[in-house]
Amino acid sequence: MAVFSEILALDWMDARGVLLFLFVFLILADYFKHRKPRNFPPGPWALPIIGDAHRVEPSKLHLNFDQFAEKYGPIFSLRIMVGWVVVVNGYKLVREALVERGEDYVDRPYLPLLYEAVGSKGLVMSNGYQWRQQRRFALHTLRDFGLGKMSLEPSIQLECQNLIEAFAQQQGGPFNPKMGVTKAVSNVICCLVFGKRFEYTEKQHQTIIDDFNEILILQGSVGAMMYNMFPWLVRHLPGPHRKVLTLSARLISFIEERVKEHRVDHDPSLPRDYIDCFLTEMLKNEASESRFDLENLSICSLDLFFAGTETTTTTLHWGLLFMAYYPDIQKKVQAELDTVVGSSRQPSMSDRDSTPYTYAVIQETQRMGNILPLNVARMANRDTPLGNYTIPKGTVVMATLNSVLRDETMWETPHSFNPQHFLDQDGQARKREAFLPFSAGKRVCLGEQLARMELYLFFTSLLQRFSFSAPPGEKLSLDPVFATTNSPKPFRLCAKPR
């Protein structure tokens, strides 16, 4: 019996030795894999294995970055997500990265959860020739259907009128304006991509909007960050990543149904929308190893659909909140619209230059709304300098828009809602170089021209017809909710007909 006990003790000591060896091996392997390169931006001392994950809160990531910038300077590094991330702050450095050295930072990084959901195809996450080819095709095609042209204006004005009618049905009572605005904005891009709009009562349209909003929330969660750091482990565990993958598959299925409908009566000589044009391009390239295939069509259409819905919707949502919160500014906008447009016709893009104060309010809404505070991540595709540091190839780079739109060296009152930022001393429109809500460089927002048109027409149409205020007894808050995008907290308004 004593001998048996001694054997067990020896086995346990051997097991502890093996575990200790494995622990030390993992620590050393992690150190050598993730040790900072020479002349790398400063940052906190990262822990083995988990890096700096314990230092950040995904729901406050942009605020965490502000705090790190105060301590380490405008360029700093953290070990989160798939490895080292370099965070770039302030207009001058962001411009250096995205514009002056734009070719060095044009690629997207590999993010395991996004890759698992949609792969490396599409317009947002693809790189290299595939990205250039699809972006060029999308721009050319959407321009043919009116992107950036006055020919698209009547379609947007029609959707403005539908939204006005939906607001009027509330009869001045309290309601949440977000879903109505979302459906109206979404219908514009739906016409360009799918060749149709959806009625506001359409349940399927409502479902895909809800699914996408849930994905945005889940993508900004702790669970999603853990998946991106340890995909080999977390993919086998329960968590929000499973819901992200399920919802993504459902959204892709929705797009595939639209594509299937188009293929039934596709006529290359009479293209109706983006999907038709893509199908025609597939026929032209069917004998070659082209990137024009059904999978790419689905992911590109999905990218266009949601990029054309989310940011414009959220900006307008902020705009209505700001107008109710600042009634004096709302009255000035309405006075200008009454003088220039009147009440007998809808506002048009031809009115924009004659309504400088209104346009300044829209731009200030974009600045203070700060929809994408962290921008969309980039990746260095070669060893390249930035500021006084060297950024190695493959490093994730986050050029934060929050730091540009609130840059204290570029704005007179960066933390206040102040339309005068966009007006000169004579009250005329003034361009600001640090106004980059659509990002900058080669990855600048593909739909910037469409978004500018939508923001002006929807905002002016609503302010022409309604005065917005908080419901009696309810207090409005300007505190944002960050979940990939920066949105207002849920709120209700009263839309009183004018």
* Tens digit of each residue's pLDDT, the chain (498 residues): 555 555 545 455 566 666 665 656 556 555 556 678 889 999 999 888 888 888 999 889 999 999 999 999 999 999 987 789 999 999 999 999 999 999 999 999 999 999 999 888 999 999 999 999 999 999 999 999 887 778 899 999 999 999 999 999 999 999 999 999 999 999 999 999 999 999 999 999 999 999 999 998 888 888 888 888 888 888 888 888 999 999 999 999 999 999 999 999 999 999 999 999 999 999 988 767 778 999 999 999 999 998 999 999 999 999 999 999 999 999 999 999 999 999 999 999 999 999 999 999 999 999 999 999 999 999 999 999 999 999 999 999 999 999 999 999 999 999 999 999 999 999 999 999 999 999 999 999 999 999 999 999 999 999 999 999 999 999 999 999 998 899 999 999 999 999
Q: Are strands 83-88 and 396-399 parallel, antiparallel or unpaired?
A: parallel
End-to-end Cα, the chain, rounded Å: 95
pTM of the model: 0.92
Three-class DSSP category at 60: helix
Q: How far apart are CA 383 and CA 396, in angstroms?
A: 12
Number of H helices, E strands in the chain: 18, 11
What is the pLDDT, as a whole number, of residue 8?
47
Q: Token pair of 427, please?
A: 């009250």
pLDDT at 37: 85
DSSP-derived 3-state class of residue 420: helix
- How confident is the model at residue 333, as a pLDDT? 98
Longest CA–CA separation in the chain, Å: 102
The domain made up of 55-497 has a fold known as: Cytochrome p450 (1.10.630)
d(CA 364, CA 405): 10
Is there a contact between 200 and 180 (Cβ–Cβ < 8 Å)? yes
The CA-based dihedral angle spanning residues 447, 453, 455, 460, taken in that order and rounded to the nearest 10 degrees: -170
pLDDT at position 72, please? 96
Task: Quickly tell me which residue has 């469409």 as its tokens.
Answer: 450
**What is the reported pLDDT for 431?**
95
In this structure, the strands spanning 485-488 and 480-483 are: antiparallel
What is the residue extent of each domain of the chain?
55-497
Contact yes or no for 319/365 (Cβ under 8 A): yes
CB 356 within 8 A of CB 416: no
